[in-house]
Amino acid sequence: MTEELFRADGYLRECEACVTAVQGDHICLDRTVFFPEGGGQLGDTGVILRTGGVSVRIIDTLSTEENSLVHVVEDGADLPQVGENVTARIDWERRYRLMRMHSALHMLCSVVPAPVTGGSIRDGQGRLDFDLPEPVDKVELTGLLNQVIARDRPMSMQWITDQQLAEQPELVRTMSVKPPTGTGTVRLVHFEGVDLQPCGGTHVSSTGEIGSIRVRKIEKKGRQNRRVILVFDDSAS
């Protein structure tokens, strides 16, 4: 089992670790700062640095069905040995963009009062699908979203038991993606006075870090589903 340091601190950029397994193009470590793809958020990329300065490029991070976390290496990499001590370092600029967009989607949840039926977080773009029969004005939604972000509300985390979550189903906004359970505890991400919901992803420490956001498109997906696509508004910087 890998110690997932990013759960408690999404701002960690690197850590010292020991290689516990090497299987094909997968490397497992005893601890890591690499976030595995999940909950709609892309897995981290980066490097694993070996003794002597040898750099092993990580092109993706995944969770397996056996609940292992694996670092996927590029073809032709000089792989480390089991038991070797290494440094795991993420592509921070990419991760930070994913953190900002993930937090922006939580802000979107707070201003659209409808269940979420799907979503994804990509580098520079995010989307949520809502069970929403009525149309939404793109310009008005952009304005509401940026008003909430500009309040610069702090983010905090707390943990509740699986049973406590089961007793508070209103905390779960997503219909298609269930919060990570099974370990006995569930992490809640709380943006003060704005949004509270279970989430295993990485987030910024306050909404002001998200920056200006623009609703790029609202698409009708079926009879009741509407897809809201967000991008960073570079013109506002």
- The answer on 103 and 85 residing in a single domain is no
| Residues 51 and 141 both lie in one domain | no
Query: Which stretches of 50-191 are assigned E, i.e. beta strand?
Result: 55-63, 69-73, 85-90, 116-122, 125-131, 155-161, 185-191
The DSSP line for 206-221 is BGGGG--EEEEEEEEE
Q: What is the pLDDT along the chain (237 residues), one digit of tens a residue?
A: 899 999 999 999 999 999 999 999 999 999 999 999 988 899 999 999 998 889 999 999 999 877 689 999 999 899 999 999 999 999 999 999 999 999 999 999 999 989 899 899 999 999 999 999 888 999 999 999 999 999 999 999 998 888 888 888 888 877 666 666 566 788 899 999 999 999 989 999 999 999 999 999 999 988 789 999 999 997 554
| DSSP assignment string, 89-112 | EE-HHHHHHHHHHHHHHHHHHHHS
Q: What is the pTM of this model?
A: 0.92
Domain residue limits at 184: 95-236
Is residue 64 domain-shared with residue 102, that is, in the same domain?
no
CATH of the domain at 40: 2.40.30.130
- Identify whether residues 123 and 31 lie together within a single domain: no
Q: Can you give the CATH number for the domain in which 141 is found?
A: 3.30.980.10
Based on the fold, state whether residues 143 and 83 are members of the same structural domain: no
> Which of 90, 106, 121 lies at the terminal end of a domain, its last residue?
90
Q: What is the DSSP letter of 7?
A: G
- Count how many domains the chain has: 2
Together in a domain, 59 and 109:
no
Task: Tell me which of 63, 90, 117 is where a domain ends.
Answer: 90
Q: Which tokens go with 38?
A: 């999940």
Q: Which two tokens stand for residue 179?
A: 């919060």
Same domain, 103 and 171: yes
Domain check: are 111 and 195 in the same one?
Answer: yes
Domain identity same for 56 and 154: no
In 3D space, the residue among 155, 31, 139 whose CA is nearest the CA of residue 102 turns out to be 155
**Shared-domain flag, residues 82 and 125:** no
Among residues 90, 124, 143, the one where a domain terminates is: 90
Same domain, 166 and 67: no
99 and 141 fall within a common domain = yes
